[in-house]
Structure 1
Amino acid sequence: MYYTMNKIIYLPFQNGSFLKKITLFLFFMSVTLHAQIDKVEPPFWYAGMQNPELQILFYGKDISQYQVTVSNGIKITNVKRTENPNYIFVSIDTKKVAASDFVFTFKNNNNNKETFTHKYSLKKRRENSAQRKSFDSSDMMYLLMPDRFANGNRNNDSENSIKEKYNRELPGGRHGGDIEGIIKNLDYIASLGATTIWTTPLNEDNDATYSYHTYGQSDVYKIDPRFGTNDDYVRLAAEMHKKDMKLVMDYVTNHWGIEHWMMKDLPTKEWINHFDTFTQTNHKRTVIHDINASEIDKKITIDGWFVSTMPDLNLKNPLTLKYLIQNAIWWIEYADLDGFRVDTYNYSDPKGIAKWTKSITDEYPNFNIVGEVWMQSQAQMAYWQKDSKIAEIQNYNSYLPSVMDFTLYEATSKVFNEDDGSWDKGMVKLYDNFTNDFLYPNINNMLIFVENHDTNRFNQTYENDIRKYKMAMTLMATVRGIPQLYYGSEIGMAGDKNKGDADIRKDFPGGWEGDKNNAFVKEGRTSGQNDYFNFTSKLFNWRKTKAAVHFGKMTHYIPENNIYVYFRYNTNETIMVLMNNSTESKTVNTNRFKENIKDFKTGKDVISELTFDVTNKITIEPKSVLILELK
């Protein structure tokens, strides 16, 4: 028999027939002729890991026919074979093994004379690797899509082994942005006050169309050659660390792409989730914690495919789960990463994704992981943060340190166009969002944003009204959590999601040779772009030094006349933020805020650098903000 596309095909023979004898002879000859290793994953590992058991996947034709031994006295703890003879999973104990090379020997069960070997390496970890510092609320995260940011190396625009070729004329095509383009523009990103970069996935995506976003990965141990090489990715992290910047990988636990190499020859049918016919997820993740939900709804939510080209990974299968855990840890060690953003976090099996997360944070106690949990209420999002009291009711813990604040995003997508500030409109939307902060176990470890690569562009929603942009960025820079800026917003880039995702993922001007507008440099930006850039840069560079904003407390006041006032403070400093969302100038009586103003007399505005008397009244212009450092 042979194995192909997850089906076992039997060759019928008549007992004692000449045909049977010839076919069996050819079968065993084929084993001898084709015995080889095509894939080893992880390709190497590291000595001194907290979890000493390493599961190594060996892939090659009929490799499960072989017995495996290993040199250097290393103990094999488990050998797992599946219904697919082309895979064998070998687990070894690395607890007492120093960084070194050793050899696996494969001996054919059917032909004792046939053997072959494979050298494997345990490498030395970086100093203090396990205690690496991750991103937190003292950081500002810059989100970019590598294919649309900057083309630093024209030589990798297309690649023979990859189906989709360079076509910048096609809005949804490959435009040639790459890792080299990011490296060449790190100073630009840093000049914005950004300390952390989150790139959308960089692993290989060999889909024939629309592969630029790289969420349908075809090899999770390999950087897509159109972005560069694995070494280039390591170099990106190293160059960022020289500038005291942090690199966050976008990791996908829920699905791969249909062109992933394993989809051609699955290790086991249980590697992915199956239905009798194609079944797409219903996207109703509320069923996971809904005590009234039906089992079929839960199954379709968790096991249904995201789209037909993205097979759903089965995290209930121990082999799949272990593979994903090790892949994530391998990238942390290999590329010296500083954090993960996890795509579609709560689409995966809840127990499986919790084990994945805990395995990583057990290995790296300070490592931050932020999950995409796109829910419609604070209670639903808080359920997914580590040590949630809400989830504890159902004996569940995701172990996920951070979640993305989608309810705040929803509020900011509407609030700045609501001029009247009535009962539930305008600034009240922001106030109400923060009144539910008590639900989160770690409110400061939230990723906050007004847009990302999946949403309408903020400047599109608000028709490039820079006053509203300044209000939104001020909010991001001064409330609790980790602010995230989407590339291009800082120069006024807009995009309409109704026209398709490509419109919200346009090329950054100046990232390609011949671009007439080079927004990476002051001289290349238009006056309007510089207005956006200068405000953003001044605001977030100021934030970098403000511990009261990073880790301080917050007191806010019920908005009146569509004016929202709140304070961020610690024992050393107090910052007063006034946000006027009305269309008229307003005068605010400061007596109401005496509990926070206390004995302070003046406040210096961070942006204008003007000084205001805070003992009586403050006048604030329409659709504007004041960020006052109290003295």
Structure 2
Amino acid sequence: MKKLNTIILLLILNISFAQVQKIEPEFWWSGMKSTELQLLVYGKNISDLKPEISGDIQIKEVQKVENPNYLFVTIDTKGIQPGKVKLNFKKGKKITQSFDYEFKSRENNSADRKGFDSSDVFYLLMPDRFSNGKTRNDFPYDSSEGVDRNNPNGRHGGDIQGIINNLDYLNELGVTTIWSTPMFEDNEPVYSYHGYAQSDYYQIDPRYGTNEDYKRLANELHKREMKLVKDYVTNHWGSKHWIIKDLPSKDWIHYWENGENGFQRSNYRMTTQFDGNAAKIDAEGCMDGWFDTTMPDMNQKNPLVLNYMVQNAIWWIEYANLDGLRVDTYSYNDKEGIAEWTKRIMNEYPNFNIVGEIWMHDQAQMAYWQKDSKIGAIQGFNSHLPSVMDFTLHDAIGTIFKEEPSWDKGMIKVYENFTNDFLYPDIDNIMVFAENHDTSRFNEIYPNIEDYKLALSLIMTVRGIPQIYYGSEIGMKGDKSKGDGDIRRDFPGGWQGDKNNAFTESGRTTEQKAYFDFTKKLLNWRKGNSAIHKGKTLHYVPQENVYVYFRHDENQRVMIVLNNNQKAQKLDLKRFSEGIQNHKSGKDILSDKEFNLNNELEIKGKTALIIELK
């Protein structure tokens, strides 16, 4: 009897040692342009099993890696029809496990989906700090950090339902596109609210909701003719990611032998990506160094890693019907790897759009990263990245409204920024902004509405895709020097019991209403203006800290005057005859005031005019 029990126990152990626990992606779609699908199969000693698929589907390759708990199974999906196929795993001739693997039907015109463009206005929000729509998901049983609103660096409880509850507010404001910071599961024990140390790329964090909730958010946006852009992180994963905790191979990440648990911090010198004089050790120190201790640096040179990321991004585009991606720390990735990642996604969706975070302070260096850059071509490099972020304009906005004008200070900085537009292959596909979730809030730097109006008028009328940061439209402040939590405060009214509900007109203070009403008027005016979306720019060297420029196309001509001087200024309109042409008058869309454009124009101090020429 004892011997029989031992045999039974050994049989049980043998089964448990070779059992599939996870298959990613868990389903796919028929009719994709790329006909190869690589399944990551995970389970204890799973490499002992042999995969088979029913029907005429061909397994092209089965790859084993250092870790016996993984198999990478590449199948040919050409001609596969929607439906389920049988995926079997065999030990010898015996099937030990069997799964129904589904190929779904794609949405109509999925491959031709149109991404965001310069007709859009982005609203960047942090879901944890925007609105708590479901308090019951504040403390999920399997999450390591629950809600504590008293901790500026902790979870506060905002979620997907909170965003959905306030979509009409954003629609009224004039926003067309939501960019939310990451919503994938981030199960770090502390400081997990920002979402950039993700622990599962196929699951929405339960504190935000479910995958179905995220899909519902996209659907609700589309009902309002609005768009959803996912914040995607390719450079690093979180230390609690289930794959990181049981690596397929050591080269899945950049593992530093001399560092604790493979860690070595990046030197953050992104110029080493293209600096022909850079020492190899410095280049590796940037690209292979970790962004932080909880963020292992991913090795996109490993084709299995890269393929996993490509398929995951495509999976979310299809599943949630996304309108774009914003890629975090784009220029820290392996240069060739991230270019391949981008190219493969854009090949699948030719009209899609992806914007990369290129946090650099030189236009040539940023332009290097845009698709078809002539600067990149000097080194034989093409990132295939459609859009980059205009950080040099952001840098200028951070100082121009408070410094004394001179040869190189004041509005001349903005003018000089645009003189380098020729460096970019697609100048309309540049994201412009005054602030984001990593910078001090604009209203903290400039605590008066006059400067806010000037900055917003600039952002909304220059070339590119404008992005605003949640809460600034009601005057929210935040000081980066006090920590990230201060620039990521809770939106007032997003939580039950909030004394001030700025989501409603009746709940706004007088100051909040002034900010909101100005923003609403400007954003909604922008929606219908082709010259602002795709027109050409004609600008004039600022004088007396007054910047004048025109946006124009064959249908429309708009004159923008930004007086950054404390005093009123009189402009001799003869100087601007090239821009005014034969127009005799115009209407300022901000004040609804008519202006005669024959001789002279007077503008109050610290004031913007956006004049539609008649």
Instruction: Give TM class, smaller chain.
Output: over 0.9
Q: Secondary structure at the match of 1:576?
A: strand
Q: Secondary structure at the match of 2:179?
A: strand
Pick closer, same or farther for the CA change 1:50–1:114 going to 2, 3 Å. Answer: closer
Inter-partner Cα distance in structure 1 for 2:10 and 2:445? 64
Residue 54 in 1 paired to residue 37 in 2? Answer: yes
Pick closer, same or farther for the CA change 1:27–1:594 going to 2, 3 Å. Answer: farther
Deviation of 1:25 after TM superposition, in Å, equals 11
Whether the aligned pair in 2 keeps the contact of 1:31 and 1:61 (CA below 8 Å) is no
Whether the aligned pair in 2 keeps the contact of 1:605 and 1:628 (CA below 8 Å) is yes
Of 495, 510, 521, which residue of structure 1 is paired with 2:493?
A: 510
**Counterpart for residue 413 of structure 2:** 429
Residue 147 in 1 paired to residue 131 in 2? Answer: no
Inter-partner Cα distance in structure 2 for 1:560 and 1:33? 77
Residue 63 in 1 paired to residue 46 in 2? Answer: yes
Of 196, 206, 229, which residue of structure 1 is paired with 2:177?
A: 196
Residue 248 in 1 paired to residue 240 in 2? Answer: no
Whether the aligned pair in 1 keeps the contact of 2:20 and 2:97 (CA below 8 Å) is no
Q: Secondary structure at the match of 2:343?
A: helix
Residue 164 in 1 paired to residue 164 in 2? Answer: no
- Structure 1 stretches of at least 4 aligned residues deviating more than 3 Å after TM superposition: 23-29
The letter for the 1-side match of 2:500 is N
**Counterpart for residue 364 of structure 2:** 379
**Counterpart for residue 624 of structure 1:** 607
Q: Secondary structure at the match of 1:346?
A: helix
**Counterpart for residue 300 of structure 2:** 315
Q: Secondary structure at the match of 1:615?
A: coil
**Counterpart for residue 395 of structure 2:** 410
Whether the aligned pair in 1 keeps the contact of 2:360 and 2:366 (CA below 8 Å) is yes
**Counterpart for residue 204 of structure 2:** 223
TM-score, normalising length: structure 1: 0.95
Q: Deviations over 1:522-557 (max 9, x none)?
A: 100000000000000000100000000000000000
**Counterpart for residue 188 of structure 2:** 207
Q: Secondary structure at the match of 1:537?
A: helix
**Counterpart for residue 19 of structure 2:** 36
Q: Deviations over 1:544-598 (max 9, x none)?
A: 0000000000000011111110000011111001111111111000000111111
Whether the aligned pair in 1 keeps the contact of 2:17 and 2:46 (CA below 8 Å) is no
Q: Secondary structure at the match of 1:554?
A: strand
Residue 568 in 1 paired to residue 551 in 2? Answer: yes
The letter for the 2-side match of 1:356 is W
Whether the aligned pair in 1 keeps the contact of 2:131 and 2:158 (CA below 8 Å) is yes
Inter-partner Cα distance in structure 2 for 1:475 and 1:152? 34
Inter-partner Cα distance in structure 2 for 1:33 and 1:90? 21
Deviation of 1:263 after TM superposition, in Å, equals 1.6
**Counterpart for residue 103 of structure 2:** 122
Deviation of 1:108 after TM superposition, in Å, equals 1.3
Q: Deviations over 1:68-124 (max 9, x none)?
A: 111011000110100111100101000111111001111114xx4452212101100
**Counterpart for residue 3 of structure 2:** none
**Counterpart for residue 17 of structure 1:** none
Q: Percent identity?
A: 58
**Counterpart for residue 241 of structure 2:** 260
The letter for the 2-side match of 1:403 is V
Deviation of 1:35 after TM superposition, in Å, equals 3.0
Of 67, 76, 81, which residue of structure 1 is paired with 2:64?
A: 81
Q: Secondary structure at the match of 1:414?
A: helix
Whether the aligned pair in 2 keeps the contact of 1:32 and 1:114 (CA below 8 Å) is no
The letter for the 2-side match of 1:597 is I
Whether the aligned pair in 2 keeps the contact of 1:281 and 1:301 (CA below 8 Å) is yes
The letter for the 1-side match of 2:438 is D
Q: Secondary structure at the match of 1:407?
A: helix
Inter-partner Cα distance in structure 2 for 1:305 and 1:142? 29
**Counterpart for residue 577 of structure 2:** 594
Inter-partner Cα distance in structure 2 for 1:387 and 1:577? 31
Residue 534 in 1 paired to residue 517 in 2? Answer: yes
Inter-partner Cα distance in structure 2 for 1:193 and 1:206? 34
Inter-partner Cα distance in structure 2 for 1:114 and 1:531? 69
Deviation of 1:422 after TM superposition, in Å, equals 1.3
Q: Secondary structure at the match of 2:609?
A: strand
Residue 474 in 1 paired to residue 462 in 2? Answer: no
**Counterpart for residue 395 of structure 1:** 380
Aligned length: 606
Q: Deviations over 1:414-443 (max 9, x none)?
A: 001124x21001110000000000000001
Inter-partner Cα distance in structure 2 for 1:274 and 1:28? 37
Deviation of 1:26 after TM superposition, in Å, equals 7.9
Inter-partner Cα distance in structure 2 for 1:113 and 1:451? 60
Q: Secondary structure at the match of 2:473?
A: helix
Of 425, 438, 441, which residue of structure 1 is paired with 2:422?
A: 438
CA-based RMSD of the aligned residues comes to: 1.4
TM-score, normalising length: structure 2: 0.97
Mapping of 1:351-390 within 5 angstroms?
351-390=336-375
Q: Deviations over 1:184-241 (max 9, x none)?
A: 1001011111100000000000000011101000000000000000000000000000
Deviation of 1:31 after TM superposition, in Å, equals 2.7
Deviation of 1:34 after TM superposition, in Å, equals 3.9
- Larger CA deviation: 34-43 vs 151-160: 34-43
Inter-partner Cα distance in structure 2 for 1:393 and 1:521? 53
Q: Deviations over 1:6-64 (max 9, x none)?
A: xxxxxxxxxxxxxxxxx999877623234322111001000000000000011011111
**Counterpart for residue 157 of structure 2:** 176
Inter-partner Cα distance in structure 2 for 1:46 and 1:542? 40
Inter-partner Cα distance in structure 2 for 1:170 and 1:449? 28
Inter-partner Cα distance in structure 2 for 1:522 and 1:100? 49
Q: Secondary structure at the match of 1:119?
A: strand
The letter for the 2-side match of 1:204 is E
Residue 611 in 1 paired to residue 594 in 2? Answer: yes
Which structure 2 segments of 5+ residues have no match? 1-5
Whether the aligned pair in 1 keeps the contact of 2:38 and 2:74 (CA below 8 Å) is yes
Residue 294 in 1 paired to residue 279 in 2? Answer: yes
Inter-partner Cα distance in structure 2 for 1:514 and 1:242? 30
**Counterpart for residue 333 of structure 1:** 318
Q: Secondary structure at the match of 2:566?
A: coil
